Each structure stands twice: as C-alpha cells, then as structure tokens.
Structure 1
C-alpha cells in the first residue's frame, strides 16, 4: 500500500524536529542518528532515505531551528506592551525560561562551539542562518547590522554563560546584566 501524498515530507520534518531538540540539549557530537530517529518515532534504518549523511541533517536542522527561534522572538515582539518590541525580545531571550528550556531554545548558544569544528558545508549554512538572525534583530530594533551583530553577541554570550554556571543567583545575575547591556546598546544606537 503506497504512502499518502506528503508522507515523506512529514517524516523528514519529524526527523528534523527530533534532531533540533536533541542538538539543542546535547550538541551534535554526542547525538547519534539512532537516537534522533528514535526521538522521531522511527527506526534508524530509514534515515538514509531522507538524508545523505548526518552533516546534511545538521545543516537542515540549523535552518529549521533558526526559523523556529525567529518565530518565537516575533511572538515575543508582538506581545510587547507599551515598550519597544526589541526590549520584549531581549527580555524573552535572556529569561530564565529560555535559559532552562534548552530543548526548544535558540540553537546558536547550543551549537556555536561545535560548528566551528564542523565541515565547510555546515559552517556555511550556520553562517547564513546567523546572518538571518542578525538581520531579524537589526530590522526589529531599527539598528545598523554591525550593531545587530554586537547585540546578538551579547545575548548569545550571556545565555551561554548563564547556562554554564551551577549557581542559580549567579546565573540570574548574568541574564540581568546581559539584558541591561543589550538594551543600553540598542538605546545608544538609535
């Protein structure tokens, strides 16, 4: 019996979603194809009918995860009440909720250190997706792209450090400092 139209695309999407969750939580290197396929509710034998290799999956997962993050940040901006939309985005990005929900959070802090040691293909895709994130932030904040790059750097760096420490108060203070500096950067750039 043949599969219904769109079945292969839906299955591929489930695999990418499973990979995004796994990579956000545990990085690339420590996650196996069988683990990703199990997370998608599939056996690992079917992986190669969807992807040439794990690198292709990493590339497509980066695209998916950045789109997902931009969507989350757009929702945060839309919910802004009274203040600048970029402030709502900064508040969401550097919140304890985002810090603690690694499986659904931004992929940039989760993978940046590993991507630097990945193939040129993966690095090229990651670079394009990072630029897309910078463009989104710059446009939303109405700031130059160079300032948007600095803003993303502050936000990602603060989140990485807040996730890295084992002291909740220290972690919260890193998030608060990141918020303050990010908002100050935006304010002085206008």
Structure 2
C-alpha cells in the first residue's frame, strides 16, 4: 500500500476531528466509539491510532474545537452590529431557536457535554477544556451587557446563560410536544423583551 503523504495525513486528521466534533455534540463525549468516528469520517478504523494516542485524546481535541466554533460564531454575529442590544439579540436568538434545538451536532457544546462533565474527575483534561470554553462564552456574553458594575454584570451573565442553557436543554428533552416551543418562546421573551411569539428570525446555529 502506498504511503500517505504528509498533506493527506493532515487532511485526514482534520476530517477525523471534524467528524468527532459533530458526533460528540450529537451523542455526548462517551456515546460514540472510534469505529463510529472513523466511519463518519469515511476512513478505515485501523488508521485512527496513526493520528491519536487514544479516544480520550480525540475527545479532548474535538471538544476544544466545538467551543472554538461556538466562540467564533458569537464573535461573527457580534461584529455585524454596532449596538450592544442588537449584538445581544444576535447571540441569544439563534441559541434559542428551533434550528439550534433540532441540530445538536452544530449547536451548543455547553449543553452537549454537560451530562458527561457530571461524571468527569475535577482535574481531567476534558473537564478543564469544558471549563475554559464555558468561561470564554460567559466572558463574551458579559461584553454585551450595559452595566459597568463587575459584580452585577457577573450575576447577570450567570443568570442569563443559565436560562439559555436550561431552555435549550429542556426544549430538546421535550421536542415533539408543544411544551418544547413554549420553553424556547418563554426564554426569548425574558431575555429579549418585545420578541415576537414563536419567532425564528435569523435562526442560525448556536
């Protein structure tokens, strides 16, 4: 069998990480196997260990990438608006959309990995990646609030993000029942006063 070029090997590695990033968000960090990942990447199972020492090493890199993607999407949306209010809406509305609820593979890694983190050791690499990613998103949300008092801003950020997280999680758990849309609508109405009931304007991902 001909030796794979360095360029192709790098492309294969990127394909594996991209496939894992989506699958881990869909099923959780412990819900899929190496075989699942390689099948989704369109590569043979035997090639996995040429790129990663273990499934855990891939999980940590893939979860980090998921958080990077989330942060980049928020930054891109914020950059499109001059006012904090408009930028805040541009972040919150897609997060609490039906599209975000129905497409976990492209959506919030905080929600996707939360269950797994409940069983991770406090000093595990996966948990540290999760905490780092979550804190980055909290900091980003904080820049969109008008208050200048640091303690007040921190409290608002934690409350707002907890509402966003909980609403998205519960809407997925109740998907298919009218309650699911009600939860999203109630969260949007609380975080974005004046939002149109049932709105899915500019739904987007995360």
**Which TM class, normalised by the smaller chain length?**
0.7 to 0.9
Classify the secondary structure of the residue corresponding to 1:48.
helix
- What is residue 199 of structure 2 aligned with on the other side? none
CA deviation string 1:13-41 (max 9, x = no partner): 21111111111111222211110011111
Structure 2: 5+ residue runs without aligned partners?
148-152, 194-206
Classify the secondary structure of the residue corresponding to 1:140.
coil
Mapping for residues 80-91 of structure 1, pairs under 5 Å = 84-91=86-93
Structure 1: 5+ residue runs without aligned partners?
185-190
If asked which structure has higher relative contact order (CA below 8 Å, sep 6+), I would say 2
Larger Rg: 2
Q: Name the count of aligned residue pairs.
A: 184
- What is residue 155 of structure 1 aligned with on the other side? 164
Select the structure that is richer in helix.
1
**Contact 1:154-1:181 within 8 A present in 2 as well:** no
- What is residue 101 of structure 2 aligned with on the other side? 99
CA deviation string 1:86-134 (max 9, x = no partner): 1121111001111111121111111101122124221111111111111
- What is residue 132 of structure 1 aligned with on the other side? 136
Mapping for residues 1-190 of structure 1, pairs under 5 Å = 3-79=4-80, 84-119=86-121, 120-141=124-145, 144-183=153-192
Classify the secondary structure of the residue corresponding to 1:64.
helix
* RMSD of aligned Cα (Å): 2.2
Q: TM-score, length-normalised on structure 1?
A: 0.85
